[in-house]
A and B are shown apart, each in its own frame.
Chain A
Amino acid sequence: MSERTLRIPALRLGIGSGRVGLILGLVLMAAFLALGLSPLLLDLPPPEKMNLLARLAPPSPEHPLGADHLGRDVLSRLIAAVPVSLGAALVTMTAILVISLPWGIVAALAGGRVDMVMMRLADIVMAFPTLVLALAVIGFMGASLEASIIGVAAAWWPSNARLVRALVLSASQRDFVHAARLGGASRMRVVLRHILPQVLPPLAVIISLETASVLLALSALSFLGIGVQPPTPEWGAMLNEARPFFAQAPHMLLAPGLAVTLAVLAFNLVGEGLRELLDKREPYLW
């Protein structure tokens, strides 16, 4: 490690860009949380309430974001979609972790033939393009929110398991882990007290970035009409419903698309910000 001291660190101008991104991402996440909770405080029309007189109405004091093709209030639908869109992404991410964490940890620690078989199995699933596999699973289950969650989880877990395995493998080769093992610590204790704490920070980066891509995939599936089914409000599904009224009512397109973008951006910013905080390398300058 002695050569590290020779490196010339780049000038840090105040707080790094990564930290700004991290804070911005956290603020966005908090904003979505507040938006999701806002029906408790605000007096909004119910998201399913139709008012055919207000069909395709542009933004007005009565409908701040306008109304859709059935005269439903876009703002209240947008807010009602927060728990659906974000909830689906979080459920999917949990499902992915429930499979990939044990898979990666066991493969890394067992080593040898067990490791090889487990990784080959993961490779087979990974050999399909992720969205293609998700589409196939949905095709056989029939289009629904549950099917799209299962499809995305089934397609996304192997790459996650691979990353977990790589992290655990490098963590378990540290000297103090060997020392703990030689000191007679049980296998469980080594994993929980010595390996997992090392793995958690990089894992947080991965989880945040993966949640962003899962959110994108799920809303894309809803947009294609094979995820969340109408009349349930969901951002992708709202965009899909807005497609025929593209030229007449552009306001129907703006809000849901912006909502997906900002939500994905929040997770990407947090992931990237965390990665930058953890990254200790400094490039040489010329």
Chain B
Amino acid sequence: MLRFFLIRLAAAIPPLLGMSFVAFAIVALAPGDPVMMELRAMGIVPEPEDIAALQAQFGLDKPFLPRYFDWLMRAVRFDFGTSVATGRSVMSEIAIHLPATLALAVSALVGAVVISLALGAFAVAGNRVTGVGLRGLTILLVSVPSFWLALLLIHVFVLNLGWTRLVGDGSLPDLVLPALTLSLGAGAGLGRVVYERVRAEKSEDHVRLAIAKGLDPLRIMLTHIAPRILGPLATAWANTFGALLGGAVIVESIFGWPGLGQLILQAIAQRDFPVIQAYLVFMGLIFFATSLIADIIVILADPQLRRRLGHE
């Protein structure tokens, strides 16, 4: 088992290198010379020799590949330079905002999983009419944009009912509404996956055999269908988590949740390239780790794959 994990981790190195290259290349190929931009931002009319000196200082006079390796060497030590806008180190900016985004994404994922299992169970257990109704509901929830849903929820719960406040300080009760906004749409999407997988399993012969043997539906659900859909569901959860990391930007901007979304929107407005680069790298890493965990769950959930692993 340990060997498997080591092999799986080693296999992760090429894609990680590729990802780092993408993150670097987007900056390196971006229009505009960062040195000129910074000088202009400071209000200095630069002499050609000043520009050359600054370019040498930042290593910008070197060719593309050596610059990439320099950057990579610093990136593995989590050194992404300083933010152009604030002058603080990019790492400290990320460290301030990352926990809030992670808390939001994780709680939204938990909410989405709960909603999806409930929706899926209702759709499977219910009759034709409830099934059609639930499908309609999920299609509607998937189609509502999160930014509009957030505004509607604020209108109902903050302005009309006054149950919660809009300008929070990042404490736990302030997390409820943003997390709910994200998890409604994601939960509906996942609920469809649950329903689709259960439906696919119900078309399989082993389920027909179980029905013929006279097992009761709940038992078939828990012992024949649930173990088989765990793997695909784990993959769907990981993908949803990636979508939630991205979608968090929208919700954070509406609710004023102090996460990375605020940071990245500011960075885009001010063309703060080091921050954008670090954001891309960190989100990529977190999503990558999530997918890795999902892959491992897929293997552990499948007895055949697990047995093959044991024999190796």
Contact = CB atoms under 8 A, between A and B. Distances in A.
Interface string A1-26: 00100000000010001000100000
Contact of B279 (A136, A138, A216, A261): A136
Interface residues of A, number: 55
Contacts of A224: 249-250, 253, 265
Given A132-B246, A135-B268, A246-B154, A124 B220 contact: no
A264 B151 CA distance: 18
Interface of A: 3, 13, 17, 21, 120-121, 123-125, 127-143, 212, 216, 219-220, 223-226, 236, 239, 243, 246-247, 250, 253, 257, 260-262, 264-265, 268-269, 272, 281-284, 286
Nearest to B192: A272
B147 interface: yes
A121 B17 CA distance: 11
B152 to A, nearest CB: 7
Contacts of B19: 124, 127-128
B311 interface: no
Q: Size range of the interface on B? A: 35 or more
B224 to A, nearest CB: 11
Nearest to A246: B151
B147 A129 contact: no
B283 A130 contact: no
Majority secondary structure of chain B interface residues (helix, strand, loop or mixed)? helix
Contacts of A220: 145-147, 247, 250
A137 B26 contact: yes
Interface stretch (B39-47, B69-77, B132-140, B170-178): B132-140
B249 A135 contact: yes
B22 A128 contact: yes
B68 interface: no
Contact of A127 (B199, B249, B287): B287
Contacts of A131: 243, 245-247, 249
Given A140-B273, A226-B265, A128 B151 contact: no
